[in-house]
Chains A and B, each alone.
Chain A
Amino acid sequence: DSGVTQTPKHLITATGQRVTLRCSPRSGDLSVYWYQQSLDQGLQFLIQYYNGEERAKGNILERFSAQQFPDLHSELNLSSLELGDSALYFCASSVDLLVFSTDTQYFGPGTRLTVL
């Protein structure tokens, strides 16, 4: 158990819909990362937040957005869903990007999204 929690574990929805995935980082971790894993693209970095602010962006679609709240939990919002958005979505957290040069990311169990 990494200490990172994600809800829900599974999500089934229809095309065009909007969903929200939730992530609670490990206690004390300030950075949250989101990754998408699909069969054809592998594991890809989407976005990172540090202490409530966006820190880095990866291959995140404009239909997707994220935020990190004052209690440090994060949500990934996916809208206008398409069949190709079906994937595993992982959240990871780490202690402090700026202070520790060997900042290890710990991953949650993921949310499996199925778009029908």
Chain B
Amino acid sequence: DAKTTQPPSMDCAEGRAANLPCNHSTISGNEYVYWYRQIHSQGPQYIIHGLKNNETNEMASLIITEDRKSSTLILPHATLRDTAVYYCIVRPRGGTSYGKLTFGQGTILTVHP
């Protein structure tokens, strides 16, 4: 599985956009980029995923660069409840390692009032 690199921590002001980067320079063509977050020891929460096109849902937007070597998760209007650890995960579309999610250290996002 491709490895991901994320900054260990980031700060964001409430109401502003939070842009969380992820580097996955060794990603292969059949691997998706997934984002999860974990709020204070709760179960990880699915946010969004994508293959090569930008994606948007009610929670966030995912911007994947054209070469697919990096991506950015955007929370358009961060709130205090968005304070969490955010995990960027690269996951193959098939194969024997398809099932598991490999979590790294993630980025601790702190949203300030």
B74-113 CB contacts (< 8 Å) to partner A: 87, 93-94, 96-105
Identify the stretch in A66-74, A77-85, A98-106 within 8 Å (CB) of chain B at 4 or more residues: A98-106
For A87-113 the 0/1 string (1 means CB < 8 A from B) is 010101000010001111111111010
Q: Is the CB of A42 within 8 A of B43?
A: no
Q: Which residues of A contact B98 (CB under 8 A)?
A: 56, 97, 103
A76 to B44, CA, bound (A): 19
A88 to B40, CA, bound (A): 12
> Which residue of chain A lies nearest to B100 when distances are taken between CB atoms in the complex?
A45
Q: Which residues of A contact B104 (CB under 8 A)?
A: 42
Interface size class of B (residues with CB under 8 A): 20 to 34
> Which residue of chain A lies nearest to B102 when distances are taken between CB atoms in the complex?
A45
Q: Which residues of B contact A97 (CB under 8 A)?
A: 98-99
Q: Is the CB of B49 within 8 A of A101?
A: no
Residues of B within 8 A of A (CB): 32, 34, 38, 41-46, 49, 87, 93-94, 96-105
